[in-house]
């Protein structure tokens, strides 16, 4: 045991701790929140084909509805990133779960497109606030040797939630109507809130940075690193220098401006492609003659591919330059997105192409979250990730809106997916530049 007033370096204690039950529980808790987030983000795409028929509205008019939810996500990421860097990850995650749960539940009672648009916007604020904080919290409890793997496994819950949501929705909608999807998607986070309240820890790095009481820090640290010998009288220090600056300014300071801006571009382009696919894939396939059930199941293949890709790419990122891995992934993503439009005649080939596109584009985005977490110190990590995700959400808004414009212009299925593949060229170029910057920093 540590002697009274012994210095305990918190970063070293976390990095040297063996992976154990605490890490598994943290991944499960944050991963389930990501699953709920994934389901609630994707659920509007599941019901859009049904609502278009029931409300007798053109499919292209759902573009603004998709965009409203994503605009809310962007607002939530800008709003809650800096807030959590000041008050902590845990309270912000809890607040956000209540927001997106309650508003998703309310969406079941939307009478028209205008109300649907407003409710999706406010629900999006909660969805957006949760994402950077579960990434930051996982990163801050993960030892450096396994950080990318832990983040990608945890955030694999997002596409898994969207995939499970597709399977559930394909059963709920025929039996109970479109409203049942939102009732399920709203009640689940409101009920899981109590589990999170009971078991989710606050970031020990945040506790040290905010000068919390020694007993509080010791209790949190001993959960993840029981051999640290920390006690209430220990002096807790950080390897990382802690300064009291406004984090949003810091992500542009000390040579980080170019890296931050390039990261923003990478997120913008990546999320544009992802939300083009997630929003329009079921509806486009339905319009091309596939059944509602098969069209929804395509979203399952897309997101299961994304979950598998995120985990596998995360393993490579732990061992290689992360931006080399990401550049290769997005180059492959472009080819598979293009092929979706060319393989509509064969269900088996189409689903294989959708799975592969999800593997590299959604999996690439999940892995990019892990890479982004490594670019920023903990005092600004949630702000750094949150700002990148928020700027990326502009792309996620442009993607669905662009899809609506192209559908209204009567573009063919082949032309739609060819257009969706073009942004991968930008992704690859930006990631190659970041590859060089990362290599120079690591040297």
Domains of the chain: 7-442 (1.20.1250.20)
Q: What is the pLDDT of residues 140-193, one digit of tens each?
A: 999 988 887 888 889 888 888 988 888 888 889 989 999 999 999 999 999 999
Give CA–CA dist 18/327, Å, rounded. 32
Q: Is the pLDDT of residue 268 over 70?
A: yes
For the ranges 228-242, 261-275, 311-325, the lowest mean pLDDT is seen at 228-242
Give CA–CA dist 66/60, Å, rounded. 10
CB atoms within 10 A of CB 262: 17
Contacts of 401 (CB under 8 A, 6+ apart): 63, 64, 66, 67
At 235, give phi and psi (nearest 5°): -100, 115
pLDDT at position 356, please? 96
- Mean pLDDT computed over 254-261: 83
Four-point Cα dihedral 374, 202, 251, 144, nearest 10:
-10
Contacts of 53 (CB under 8 A, 6+ apart): none
CB atoms within 10 A of CB 429: 15
Give CA–CA dist 22/101, Å, rounded. 26
Q: What is the pLDDT of residues 25-52, one digit of tens each?
A: 999 999 999 999 889 888 888 888 889 8
Q: What is the pLDDT of residues 361-409, one digit of tens each?
A: 999 998 888 788 777 776 677 677 778 877 887 888 888 888 888 888 8
Q: Is residue 257 within 8 Å of 383, Cβ to Cβ?
A: no
- Residue (of 159, 204, 155) closest to 385 by Cα position: 155
- Mean pLDDT computed over 323-337: 94
DSSP string, 83-122: HHHHH-HHHHHHHHHHHHHHHHHHHTT--SHHHHHHHHHH
End-to-end CA distance of the chain: 37
Q: Is the pLDDT of residue 240 over 70?
A: no
- Mean pLDDT computed over 73-80: 84
pLDDT at position 243, please? 52
E strand spans, 227-272:
235-237
- Mean pLDDT computed over 105-126: 94
Give CA–CA dist 200/34, Å, rounded. 14
Give CA–CA dist 269/205, Å, rounded. 32
DSSP string, 5-57: T-EEEHHHHHHHSPP-HHHHHHHHHHHHHHHHHHHHHHHHHHHHHHHHHHTT-
Could you tell me the two tokens for 143?
A: 């030892």
pLDDT at position 241, please? 59
| pTM reported for the whole predicted model | 0.76
pLDDT at position 435, please? 87
pLDDT at position 5, please? 57
Q: Is the pLDDT of residue 1 over 50?
A: no
- Mean pLDDT computed over 335-361: 88
Q: What is the pLDDT of residues 275-291, one digit of tens each?
A: 889 888 888 887 777 77
Give CA–CA dist 124/103, Å, rounded. 9
pLDDT at position 142, please? 93
Q: Is the pLDDT of residue 244 over 80?
A: no
pLDDT at position 246, please? 47
DSSP lists the bridge partners of residue 382 as: none
326 vs 5 pLDDT, higher one:
326
* Highest mean predicted confidence (pLDDT) among 95-104, 152-161, 346-355, 371-380: 95-104
- Average model confidence (pLDDT) for the chain? 87
Assign 2 a pLDDT band (cuts: 50, 70, 90).
very low
């Amino acid at each position: 045991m540590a002697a009274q007033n012994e210095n305990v370096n918190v970063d070293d204690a976390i990095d040297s701790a063996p992976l154990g039950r605490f890490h598994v529980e943290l991944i499960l808790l944050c991963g389930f929140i990501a699953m709920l987030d994934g389901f609630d983000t994707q659920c509007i795409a599941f019901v859009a084909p049904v609502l278009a028929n029931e409300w007798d509205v053109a499919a292209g008019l759902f573009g603004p509805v998709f965009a409203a939810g994503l605009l809310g996500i962007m607002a939530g990421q800008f709003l809650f990133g800096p807030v959590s860097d000041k008050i902590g990850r845990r309270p912000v995650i809890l607040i956000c779960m209540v927001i997106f749960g309650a508003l998703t539940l309310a969406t079941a009672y939307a009478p028209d497109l205008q109300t649907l648009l407003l409710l999706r916007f406010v629900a999006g604020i909660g969805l957006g606030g949760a994402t950077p904080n579960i990434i930051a919290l996982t990163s801050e409890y993960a030892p450096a040797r396994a950080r990318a793997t832990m983040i990608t496994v945890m955030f694999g819950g997002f596409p898994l939630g969207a995939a499970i949501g597709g399977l559930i929705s394909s059963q709920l909608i025929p039996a109970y109507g479109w409203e049942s999807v939102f009732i399920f998607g709203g009640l689940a986070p409101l009920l899981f809130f109590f589990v999170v309240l009971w078991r989710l820890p606050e970031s020990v790095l945040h506790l040290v940075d905010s000068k919390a009481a020694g007993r509080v820090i010791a209790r949190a640290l001993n959960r993840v690193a029981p051999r640290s010998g920390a006690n209430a009288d220990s002096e807790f220090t950080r390897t990382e220098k802690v300064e009291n600056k406004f984090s949003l300014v810091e992500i542009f300071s000390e040579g980080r401006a170019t890296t931050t801006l390039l990261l923003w571009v990478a997120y913008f382009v990546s999320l544009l492609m992802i939300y083009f696919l997630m929003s329009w894939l079921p509806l486009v396939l339905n319009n091309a003659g596939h059944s509602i059930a098969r069209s929804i199941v395509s979203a399952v293949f897309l997101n299961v591919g994304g979950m598998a890709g995120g985990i596998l790419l995360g393993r490579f990122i732990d061992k290689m330059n992360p931006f080399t891995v990401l550049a290769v992934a997005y180059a492959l993503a472009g080819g598979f997105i293009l092929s979706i439009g060319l393989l509509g005649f064969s269900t088996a080939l189409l689903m294989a192409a959708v799975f592969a596109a999800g593997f590299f584009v959604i999996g690439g985005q999940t892995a990019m979250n892990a890479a982004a977490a490594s670019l920023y110190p903990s005092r600004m990590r949630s702000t750094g990730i949150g700002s990148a995700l928020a700027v990326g959400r502009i792309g996620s808004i442009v993607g669905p809106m662009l899809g609506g414009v192209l559908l209204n212009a009567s573009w063919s299925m082949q032309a739609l997916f060819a257009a969706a593949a073009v942004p991968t060229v930008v992704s690859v170029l930006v990631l190659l530049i970041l590859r060089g910057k990362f290599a120079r920093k690591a040297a």
